[in-house]
Amino acid sequence: MKRLPQSLRESFWRDLMLVALPSILLLAGGFWLAAQFIRPAPPKQLILSTGGDSGAYQRFAVRYKEVLKRYDVELIEKPSAGSMENLQRLRDNNFTVDAAFIQGGTARATGEDALASLGSLYYEPLWIFYRTALAQKTPGHEFNAISQLKGRRIAVGASGSGTQVLALEMIEANGIAAAPTQLVNMDGLAVVEALQKGQIDAAMVVGPTQSAVVWSLLFTDGVSLMSLAHADAYTRVFPHLDHLILPRGAVSLESDIPAHDVSLVAPMATLIVRDDTHPALIDLLLQAATEVHGDAGLFQKPGEFPRATQVDFPLSKEAERYYKSGKTFLQRYLPFWAATLIDRLVVMLVPVLALLIPIIKFAPALYSWRVRSRIFRRYGELKFIEAELELEPGRHSRDEWLGRLDSIETDVNHMTTPLAFSDMLYTLRGHIGLVREAILSKT
């Protein structure tokens, strides 16, 4: 390009810019439009509303925290009274939270909810413990129905907890909620001490076997676990409950705990997220749930949980994809930060590529048209001279005819033309020579 005259270089760059500039502007517009739909980078923190001290939600949150830490995401725990308070936090836009543990059956979705479920995590059995001495006059010396607790002092969990919601449902279904039955708002390890001291007669506790309260009460002398004779009936009355069997000796073969098969009912725990929770964080939560809840247990087989079950709220789109396909393709082979970055860039690249393909196809044609148009314009001038010469050869003198032709030839000689169009240029020069011969023969 440096060997070309200044005018030729300017012509070349002018053609190039007239084609390239609109293409660049079109691509920039597509890039900007795509940017309006791309989600921001995932935050480095995830806020999880959990439960009370010594509860299962708190214990699981610790394990979730360890998993998320491997991906450089900090999990911030927000202790609560339980499911009902967690649900209230999710629905309160002024409370900063991304996800929360919810006990199945404690929430009722409304049209205003912007919440979604991540599926079922594990069974949360309802354990009904009572002072063994209460059943001494009962055949078999055991209670097997909630109605037998009428008139007793029953711990039903803390206010705002899922335990209390389920306990009250069961008590009311058995018609023993009114006096002389006394319902005590109490949960946690205080329940163990109260039963031992006779301050309460029975306690309803919701949680996995390994929770501190359940485990302590299973090994506490003078405390018995109720096997529900009406377990199947409860699952019909309350569809969110499942009938579980705790086999004899499953807790401790050495101590033969329990001493016989025990029928329990259980809701399922779930994770609920807000609609605006970042999809990448949802993926991490599901991966953590798989690692934490996927092992075998007293009531589940390996890999049974988490599972794609709608619990009170519809399953999120990210959860549906995860249960069908597992980790995203990128997260299987790349670090989390790289996978999320590429995933976000793909959103940008799709519309850009959609524009780039036709641009690549039509830009060369547009440039070709620009070059050809200059040659064709000279052909038009040449054709006009030839037609005028044919009709009125005496209209101008020979020098005037040749002067007009020389002007066209000069422009053609200084025309910037890529090598691909050289044949057209030389053909044009040949045609100029033909017109020159016609002028010389007719004037």
CATH of 38-121+269-327, one of 3.40.50.300, 3.40.630.30, 3.40.950.10, 3.40.190.10: 3.40.190.10
Place of tokens 């970042």: 278
Place of tokens 């789109």: 317
- Residue 302's Cβ-count burial label (10 Å; 0-12, 13-18, 19+) is exposed
Place of tokens 């390994």: 210
Question: Would you give the DSSP letter of residue 231?
Answer: H
In the chain, domain spans: 6-33+352-442, 38-121+269-327, 125-266
| Predicted pLDDT at 115 | 94
Q: Provide CB contacts within 8 A for 225, sequence distance 6+.
A: 127, 128, 129, 217, 218, 258, 262
Number of H helices, E strands in the chain: 13, 12
- The string of DSSP codes covering 305-369 is -SB---BSBPBPHHHHHHHHH-S-HHHHHS-HHHHHHHHHHHHHHHHHHHHHHHHHHHHHHHHHH
- Residue 314's Cβ-count burial label (10 Å; 0-12, 13-18, 19+) is middle
Please, which residues bridge with residue 154 across strands? 183, 202
Q: Which two tokens stand for residue 418?
A: 């890529």
Q: How does strand 182-184 pair with strand 223-225?
A: unpaired
Question: Would you give the DSSP letter of residue 10?
Answer: H
Name which of 89, 38, 36, 35 is nearest 278 in CA terms: 38
| Predicted pLDDT at 36 | 57
Cα separation, 14 vs 385, whole angstroms: 29
Instruction: Let me know if the fold of 38-121+269-327 is the same as that of 125-266.
Output: yes
Cα separation, 164 vs 185, whole angstroms: 8
| Predicted pLDDT at 382 | 87
Largest CA distance in the chain: 140
Does pTM top 0.85 for this prediction?
A: no
Name which of 287, 283, 288, 246 is nearest 266 in CA terms: 246
Q: Tell me the residue length of the chain.
A: 443
Handedness of CA 318, 322, 325, 329 (dihedral sign): positive
Q: Which residues of the chain have pLDDT under 70?
A: 1-20, 23, 26-27, 30-40, 337, 341-352
99 contacts 271 by C-beta, under 8 angstroms: yes
Please, which residues bridge with residue 183 across strands? 154
| Predicted pLDDT at 372 | 81
Q: At the fourth CATH level, which superfamily is domain 125-266?
A: Periplasmic binding protein-like II (3.40.190.10)
Q: Which two tokens stand for residue 390?
A: 């044919």
Question: 93 — alpha (psi -120 to 50), left (phi > 0) or beta?
Answer: alpha
Cα separation, 147 vs 221, whole angstroms: 23
